[in-house]
Amino acid sequence: MDRRTFSLALLSTALLAGCSSISRDPSRQFRADYGARKDGEFALPAIPVRKIDKKYLRQIVDFETKEKPGTIIVDVPERHLYLVQPGGRAVRYGVGVGKQGFAWSGNARVGWKREWPTWTPPSRMIGRRPELAKWRGGMPPGVNNPLGARALYLTKGGRDTLYRLHGTPEWWSIGKAMSSGCIRLMNQDIIDLHARVQPGAKVIVRQS
């Protein structure tokens, strides 16, 4: 084998190895998106992706469904949210879900969406946690706001369900059941989802 043929063989092997590596770990495609960033007037800290199970990092996956592209499907037991794409694919995000007694399932629509939303705790939550009464009029937007960087507000029959798809500064809660019923995503992921979804999009939340 001459030097040119040998070099081409090495290059081919390297390319094949690279492709193989990408296919084995599709989460690598978006890892750079989890770095620190400026978003409007707020500075989002980096998310330590090495501390997160890679199955909860954003990735493009095969996903067969009869639902139309643009539909959001939340698989609560699996702790994943799927945004349906054309061609049997979906963007998959890791989520945190409602703890026992606060879980919700069913169909809804994205009524409206907000960037850096104000958080207003419901009266029932204030009843359970009186210290939240100071935010009865709304907690200002910010990196520590429980709704995070973005929120999608779910409606049914034109009425607010009081359930949200929203960001969270608590990246360690992704993959767990510890919210008050809403579906939470890492801030960098909700920013991505918010940009891809339009009001009126169908949302399906499955508990089984």
Predicted confidence (pLDDT) at residue 165 exceeds the cutoff of 70: yes
Q: Is residue 111 part of a domain?
A: yes
Predicted confidence (pLDDT) at residue 19 exceeds the cutoff of 70: no
Tell me the CATH number at 165: 2.40.440.10
pLDDT given at position 137: 87
Q: Is residue 7 part of a domain?
A: no
Q: Is residue 1 part of a domain?
A: no
Reported as a pLDDT band with limits 50, 70 and 90, residue 12 is very low
Domain that holds residue 96: 27-206
Predicted confidence (pLDDT) at residue 113 exceeds the cutoff of 90: yes
Is position 182 annotated as part of the catalytic site? yes
pLDDT single digits (tens) 86-111: 999 999 999 999 876 567 789 999 99
Q: Is residue 16 part of a domain?
A: no
Q: Is residue 79 part of a domain?
A: yes
pLDDT given at position 198: 95
Q: Is residue 18 part of a domain?
A: no
Q: Is residue 3 part of a domain?
A: no
pLDDT single digits (tens) 21-76: 344 688 889 999 999 999 999 999 999 999 999 999 999 999 999 999 999 999 99
Predicted confidence (pLDDT) at residue 155 exceeds the cutoff of 70: yes
Q: How many domains does the chain have?
A: 1
Q: What is the pTM of this model?
A: 0.84
| Residue entry with tokens 């995503």 | 185
Is position 166 annotated as part of the catalytic site? yes
Q: Is residue 46 part of a domain?
A: yes
pLDDT given at position 123: 85
